[in-house]
Amino acid sequence: MKKGAVFLILSFVLLGFFACQFAIPTAIEIIGSPSVKFAETINVGKMFEDLLKSAIDKDEKLKMIPCTNEKIDIITNLIYVKLLEDNYDDLEKREDIKKIFPDTTLIPDQHIGIDIPTIPLENPETLILVDSEKDIGNRLIIPLSELGSLLPGFKFYSGKGKSDQEGVYKVKLYFSGSEIIEKTKMSIKIFEVQKEDDGETYTILPGSKPTICDGDDHNGIGLTVEESDIEIWEKDEEYKEESFIAGGASIDIPLTNHDIAISFEVFIPKGETLLLSDFAASHIKVELVIWLPLKFEAVEENPKLYFPAGYFFSSEDDLFGRGEPDSESLIFDIVESLSVDINFKKHPFYGGDLIIKSPGVEITHRIEKDDLLSFVVAEDDMNEINKPENWPFTPDIIIGFSEGDTLSFMTDFKAIEFVFKPKVRYRIDL
């Protein structure tokens, strides 16, 4: 209020001065580049981490546990997957086994006097305990697509064939239970799920062969009979170690930017003999634990990173406040161009292209500093934005990369300051 009064008084003084000394001016023109700064910390990396967590939390068989060791500089989480936890301790009678496994033939053992279930001739291969393959709806899904939709052309960094192993994701399998698992095997298949308008397509991933493992000879994958430490991690609500857990068997699950489906069978192979005592107080548990840093590699042409709509600017309203396509905005009368700087402690986009995109308008700038995202809406851009057919101006912020690039979300990936610098030219005819 006081500033407005001072400006008004100053204007009259100037007019009086001009009236006394010179001719009264016919116009007043304001030219300049004022700067407006907002010091605000926004944890950009956490935004992407939260997208993944919101998808994980929808399935009670999945848990996401943050890795908090201060030596880890890439945002990293453990993804815990409970594939199976079944108890068979109520199978103490002949009729109980027949209810659960109707294809099993029971024969009396003449030496010990109890029934022994055996594999029937009409089912010569296996006795299936669990089969998620038969019911696609029961396949366990690792939901990566919500995060992956913001990273087209990228997949999680595997580090294969490269000397730099920083931020490599890893997968461990745990197979545990009572003595019955010594006669039990498991087969796992990994699928990529592509969502389309008419449904979902399941494609077995290249190089993802059915993995057969058991609790006896391990079939060469080094599987030992053990459980994960999920109860400890859950209790602490964090994983405090510097590197991935030592237990479990390492298996290969390619993680892309699509959902990953896991189907599996737990079975007793042909030739095994089961006793009723095998089912007494018996249980089987199968778990996966994924060490998942938010580090990605570009595997396709024109890979991009999209910030979620509305993250920096409103996703619905015109950025310049125009309510309709033909609405007039004082901004377009005053501002010739607009420079926007977003300052970071450090960001992972150096060398990429910053793309500001709205229907009918696209502005691209090369990113030449690792602590600054900067773009200029030039006069020609302002003219395009002001066209009714390009209303509303609701810009998306996109980062363009090249195939082969890597992208890491560091733990200190934060925006700390926003700076707006309009180039102003305004003329008032008197």
In this prediction, residues 56-84 reach a mean pLDDT of 93
pLDDT of 130: 57
* The residue count for the chain: 430
pLDDT of 381: 87
pLDDT of 392: 86
Which has more confidence, 353 or 5?
353
Closest CA to 116 of 270, 269, 271, 276: 276
pTM (2 decimals)? 0.78
Say yes or no to pLDDT of 335 above 60: yes
- For residue 295, the one-letter residue type is K
Q: Are 68 and 78 a contacting pair, CB within 8 Å?
A: no
d(CA 257, CA 48): 13
Phi, psi of 173 (to 5 degrees): -115, 135
For residue 241 the two structure tokens come to 């170690």
Which ranges of 230-283 does DSSP label H, i.e. alpha helix? 230-236
In this prediction, residues 418-429 reach a mean pLDDT of 68
pLDDT over 90 for what percent of the chain? 23
In this prediction, residues 238-263 reach a mean pLDDT of 87
d(CA 239, CA 348): 25
pLDDT of 400: 95
Q: Are 233 and 187 a contacting pair, CB within 8 Å?
A: no
Phi, psi of 176 (to 5 degrees): -140, 170
Please report, for the chain, the start and end positions of each structural domain, with discontinuous segments joined by +.
24-44+304-400+409-429, 76-298
pLDDT over 70 for what percent of the chain? 64
d(CA 345, CA 370): 8
pLDDT of 135: 53
Q: Are 413 and 347 a contacting pair, CB within 8 Å?
A: yes
d(CA 215, CA 193): 30
Please report where in the chains the tokens 């006669």 appear, as a residue.
183
d(CA 79, CA 290): 5
For residue 191 the two structure tokens come to 């699928």
For residue 18 the two structure tokens come to 């001009």
pLDDT of 87: 75
Which of 47-61, 160-174, 259-273 has the highest mean predicted lDDT (pLDDT)?
47-61
d(CA 84, CA 187): 13
Say yes or no to pLDDT of 109 above 60: no
Of 40-44, 74-78, 279-283, 288-292, the one with minimum mean pLDDT is 279-283
**Helix (H/G/I), strand (E/B), else coil: 113:** coil
pLDDT of 293: 95
Closest CA to 352 of 341, 336, 337, 367: 367
pLDDT of 124: 35
pLDDT digits (tens, 9 = 90+) for 218-230: 444 445 667 888 8
**Helix (H/G/I), strand (E/B), else coil: 122:** coil
pLDDT digits (tens, 9 = 90+) for 293-323: 999 999 999 999 998 766 666 667 787 778 8
pLDDT of 21: 41
For the chain, the first-to-last Cα distance in angstroms comes to 24
Please report where in the chains the tokens 């298949």 appear, as a residue.
189
Say yes or no to pLDDT of 128 above 90: no
pLDDT confidence band for 173 (50 / 70 / 90): confident
Q: Are 37 and 417 a contacting pair, CB within 8 Å?
A: yes
Which has more confidence, 191 or 133?
191
pLDDT of 163: 44
Closest CA to 67 of 257, 292, 346, 295: 292
Say yes or no to pLDDT of 70 above 70: yes
pLDDT confidence band for 13 (50 / 70 / 90): very low
pLDDT of 30: 55
Of 145-154, 244-253, 330-339, 369-378, the one with minimum mean pLDDT is 330-339
- For residue 219, the one-letter residue type is N
pLDDT of 250: 83
Say yes or no to pLDDT of 279 above 90: no
pLDDT confidence band for 4 (50 / 70 / 90): very low
Q: In this structure, how many other beta carbons lie within 10 angstroms of the beta carbon of residue 255?
A: 22
Average pLDDT, the chain: 75
d(CA 223, CA 175): 7
In angstroms, what CA-CA distances link 420 with 307, 335, 423?
Answer: 19, 12, 10
In this prediction, residues 325-330 reach a mean pLDDT of 73
One DSSP character per residue, 385-420 reads HTSGGG-S--PEEEEE--TT-EEE-BTT-EEEEEEE
d(CA 143, CA 156): 13
Which has more confidence, 266 or 76?
76
CA angle 335–422–393, rounded 5-degree value: 65
d(CA 195, CA 333): 46
Q: Kindly state the DSSP code that residue 120 receives in the 8-state scheme.
A: -
Say yes or no to pLDDT of 241 above 70: yes
Q: Are 216 and 185 a contacting pair, CB within 8 Å?
A: no
Say yes or no to pLDDT of 108 above 90: no
CB within 8 Å of 2: residues ≥ 6 apart: none
